[in-house]
Amino acid sequence: MLPLENTFKNRWLWPLLSQFISSPFLFFLHRDFIFTHFYKPSSSFPRLTVVLAFCFLLSNSSLFISLIVLASPEPFPSVYQRRFTKSITFVVFLLLLALRGFVFGTLFGVDYLHRKRWVLIFPVIQRPLVTSLILGIPSSIREALKLSSSAYVISTVLMLPDPFKIKSTMWQLLVQQIAIYLETSVVSFYWEQTLHVSQVVSTRRFTFMPQQESAAPRTNPSEHLLAAIEQSTPRSIFQYCAYLDLCMISESNVETWRRAAFFEETGKTYRRVISVCLRPLEQLTSRLGEGLKGSSAENSDLLSQRLSSPMVNHADLRLHEAFYDFQLCSWSARTVASLTACSRDEDRFGVARFTGCNAAVVSTLLSCLLAVEACLGKKTNPQSPHLLSPANIWRATVDSGKRDFVCKKRESTLHEKAYGMADVLGASICQIISAFHDEMQKGAKAGILDKDWIIKSKPLHSTREILVHKLSLFLTSKPTEGRTTSTPLPKRSRRLER
Confidence (pLDDT) at 170: 73
pLDDT at 414: 81
Task: State the pLDDT at residue 300.
Answer: 47
In this predicted model, which residue has the larger pLDDT, 442 or 64? Answer: 442
What pLDDT shows up at residue 337? 96
The pLDDT confidence band at residue 268, using thresholds 50, 70 and 90, is: very high
Q: Tell me: pLDDT of 440 over 60.
A: yes
Nearest one of 417, 200, 243 to 324, comparing CA atoms: 417
At residue 303 the predicted structure's pLDDT band, cuts being 50, 70 and 90, is very low
Over residues 2-51, the pLDDT tens digits come to: 456 555 666 777 677 776 666 666 666 666 665 555 555 554 455 556 66
- The string of pLDDT tens digits covering residues 188-210 is 888 898 899 889 988 988 888 88
Of 102 and 248, the structure prediction assigns the larger pLDDT to 248
Confidence (pLDDT) at 240 = 93
**pLDDT for 359:** 94
Could you report the per-residue pLDDT of 201-255, keeping only the tens digit for each? 889 888 888 877 677 667 788 988 999 999 888 888 889 999 999 999 999 878 7
pLDDT in tens, 127-176: 888 899 899 999 999 999 988 888 778 766 665 544 444 455 677 777 77
pLDDT for the residue numbered 412: 67
Mean pLDDT (the chain, rounded): 75
Least reliable range by pLDDT among 63-72, 288-297, 346-355, 419-428: 288-297
What is the mean pLDDT of the segment spanning 481-489?
39
Q: Is the pLDDT of residue 416 over 70?
A: yes
Identify which of 223, 213, 215 has the alpha carbon closest to the alpha carbon of residue 262.
Answer: 223
State the pLDDT at residue 364.
96
pLDDT tens for 269-284 read: 999 999 999 999 999 9
- Give the pLDDT of residue 242: 93
Instruction: List b or e across 16-34, with b for residues whose CB sees 16 or more CB atoms inside 10 angstroms.
Output: eeebeebbeebbeebbeeb
For residue range 385-409, list pLDDT tens digits in order. Answer: 443 444 444 444 433 333 444 444 4
In degrees, rounded to 5, the angle at the alpha carbon of residue 114 between the alpha carbons of residues 111 and 119 is 100
Q: Which of 399, 401, 415, 404 is nearest to 312 (CA)?
A: 415
Mean pLDDT of 73-94: 61
| CA dist., res. 278 & res. 363, Å (int) | 10
CA dihedral sign, ordered 230, 74, 72, 207: positive
pLDDT of residue 422: 94
Domain ranges of the chain: 2-203, 216-497
CA 335 to chain centre: 16
Q: What percent of the chain has pLDDT over 70?
A: 65
pLDDT of 95 reads: 60
Q: Are 259 and 335 in contact (CB under 8 A)?
A: no
Find the mean pLDDT for residues 319-340: 92
In angstroms, how far is CA 42 from the centroid of its own chain? 51
CA dist., res. 453 & res. 223, Å (int): 28
